[in-house]
Amino acid sequence: MLNVGLSEAVDPELRGCLPKGIELVLIPSHPETPLDVEFWIAPPLSAAAERAWPFLRGVRVVQSTLAGIDALRKLLPSDVILCDGRGVHTISTAEWVATAILASLKYLPFYDELRRVHSWPRRREAEEHFRALHPTNKVFYPHVLIEELHAQRVLIVGYGSIGEAIEERLKPFGVEIVRVARRARPNVAAPVHAITELPALLPSADVVVLIVPSTSETTGMIGARQLGAMKQGALLVNAARGPVVDTDALVAALSSGRIRAAVDVTDPEPLPEDHPLWEAPNLFLTPHVAASTPQFMVRAMQLAAAQVVRYLRGEPLENVVTGEY
């Protein structure tokens, strides 16, 4: 019988997604004794996975509940099959990106600040914010109080399943989408540029969305040079991993008023209480929550259950990771 390992923190109702004919091994949050597990459904929290791994015996397959597998890759020997959770948080992450873009362009953090100090008259400061980001001598009547997403050029860097979902959610706003992936895909209905073209594409983008995996190639992908190449007042959105962006360079770019940013991930993470990013202007910041919805583990367990069935039948597994991702 196949031993399937699963965190005891998973809701008992969701455990019912797993097929019959297996031995379910519930893994404590802090294991103390060895556990025989052939198929491990890894927990989404890297700390929990790191605590569990030394106690697992006989693991042949690991199914990640996350699309990102950088933390698991560091744990596992090369002879263990690792499958990522591609698709599990496509919807939630795409929704966060769309929300973060709109929140930034509609100055929602600024208006929430005014609400907290009970001062609607200060709303005219919004135009000062706009002029600082977009220097101009134009006279606006009435005052500029928010910006529009319509007609903006959005550069999606890391055009996979989540990138496609982001495009689906943004296109109704009348934006121009420019797609970038590791390799070019020119002969398709929606052409995709190669990542080598990024330096030429950055200067014309109004919004730059990062949704790349965490690899040796993407670490530090956006540094001072790339931020300096961005259009004055452009918005950088990081829903990938913190190390993709050089944090010191980001703080400097935000503080100078060159760009603005919306980020769900940081480097370091969690962000220390005294880190300068907390006080950086022109920033919309959330604590790595883009994937954390009530449907997250529902989709993760549905994927894992389907993978267990394939394994039992001797069928090829999906989302098998080769190389860094």
Task: Give the tokens for residue 210.
Answer: 């990062």
Contact between 267 and 243 under an 8 Å Cβ cutoff? The reply is yes
Query: What are 4's strand-pairing partners?
Result: 24, 39
Catalytic hit among 15, 288, 310, 318: 288
Catalytic hit among 193, 241, 260, 299: 241
Length, in residues, of the chain: 325
Q: How far apart are CA 265 and CA 196, in angstroms?
A: 24
Give the torsion through C-alpha atoms of 27, 33, 36, 42, to 10 deg: 30
Residue with the two structure tokens 């989302």 = 319
Catalytic residue flag (residue 13): no
Backbone angles phi, psi at 104, to 5 degrees: -70, -45
Q: How far apart are CA 50 and CA 3, in angstroms?
A: 20
Q: How far apart are CA 155 and CA 153, in angstroms?
A: 7
Contact between 69 and 63 under an 8 Å Cβ cutoff? The reply is no
116 Cβ contact list (under 8 Å, min separation 6): none
Q: How far apart are CA 295 and CA 268, in angstroms?
A: 27
124 Cβ contact list (under 8 Å, min separation 6): 143, 145
Catalytic hit among 269, 279, 315, 324: 269
Backbone angles phi, psi at 29, to 5 degrees: -65, -30
- Strands 39-41, 2-7: pairing is parallel
Catalytic residue flag (residue 288): yes
Catalytic residue flag (residue 73): no
Query: What are 208's strand-pairing partners?
Result: 155, 236
Which amino acid, 129? H
Catalytic residues: 241, 269, 288
